[in-house]
Amino acid sequence: MANFTREAILAAFLKIAEKKPLEKISVRDIVDECGINRNTFYYHFQDIYAVLEEVLVNQILITESDGNSPHYLVDVTNQTIIQMLQHKPAIQNIYRSVGPDMVDRYMKGNLTKISAHYVNSKLDGRKMNPWDKNMLISFYRNIIGGAMKDWLEGGMKENPSYIVQHISRLMTGMAELGIRNSLEMSKEKEQKNQSAENSADSE
C-alpha cells in the first residue's frame, strides 16, 4: 500500500507539472489529485523538491540496461530521452523552472553511476590509475549530461535518434583508447621508477 501511494504521488506530480510550472505546484495540488491527506504526503516526501528528485532520478533517468553491451551508454541515453518525451510537457515545465540544475543537480549522481559502470565494463578487470579512471568517468558523464542539457534547452525539438546516433559515433572506441593510454603511461612511470631505483642501487 505504501509503494502504491508513493507511486500515486509521483504520477500526480507529473500530471500537474504538465500544466503548471514547478514553483506553482503545491502539496495541496498533489494531495487533491491523489485523494490523500497532507500527513500521508509528508510520510513519503519532505517537500515538492523531494518529489521532483524522485521523479528525475528514479523514473526519468534510466539506469537499467545490459551493462555488458558495447552500446550500454547509448542505450541508456536513448531510453532516458524516450522517457522524457513521454512526459514532454511536464519535463519542459520543470526545465523552465530549474534550468540546467535539472541535469547538474538532480541527475548527476546517476549519470556518474552509469558512466562508471560503462568504464568498469571496458576495463574488464584491468587496473587503471584512479585519477585517470575518474577523469574518464567524468568525461562520459559530461558528454551525456551536456547532450541532454542542449536538447532540453532547445525545447526537445531535435530528433532524438539523431542525437543518439551522433553520441554513439563520437564515443566509439574512446573508452578503450583512454584506458590504453592510461595503462601505457602507468607502465612508463613504473619503468622510470625501476630504472631510478636500479641506478641508485648501483651507486
pLDDT in tens, 111-170: 898 888 888 888 888 888 888 889 889 988 888 888 888 888 989 888 877 888 877 777
69 and 100 belong to one structural domain: yes
Look at residue 8 and tell me whether its pLDDT is greater than 90: yes
Look at residue 197 and tell me whether its pLDDT is greater than 70: no
Structural domain that includes position 189:
64-202
For the chain, the domain total comes to 2
138 and 86 belong to one structural domain: yes
Name, in order, each residue with C-beta under 8 angstroms of 101's C-beta and a sequence gap of 6 or more.
none
Name, in order, each residue with C-beta under 8 angstroms of 59's C-beta and a sequence gap of 6 or more.
10, 14, 83
145 and 46 belong to one structural domain: no
Name, in order, each residue with C-beta under 8 angstroms of 119's C-beta and a sequence gap of 6 or more.
133, 136, 137, 140, 175, 179
101 and 22 belong to one structural domain: no
Which one of 60, 79, 95 terminates a domain?
60
Mean pLDDT of 174-186: 85
188 and 95 belong to one structural domain: yes
Determine the Cα–Cα distance for residues 15 and 155; give it in Å rounded to an integer.
19
Taking alpha carbons only, the member of 165, 137, 154, 138 closest to residue 77 is 165
- Taking only the tens place, the pLDDT of each residue in 126-138 is 888 888 889 889 9
83 and 177 belong to one structural domain: yes
- Is the pLDDT higher at 186 or at 20? 20
45 and 127 belong to one structural domain: no
Q: Domain holding 26: CATH number?
A: 1.10.357.10
* pLDDT confidence bin for 32, thresholds 50/70/90: very high
Q: Is the pTM of this model over 0.85?
A: no
* pLDDT confidence bin for 71, thresholds 50/70/90: confident
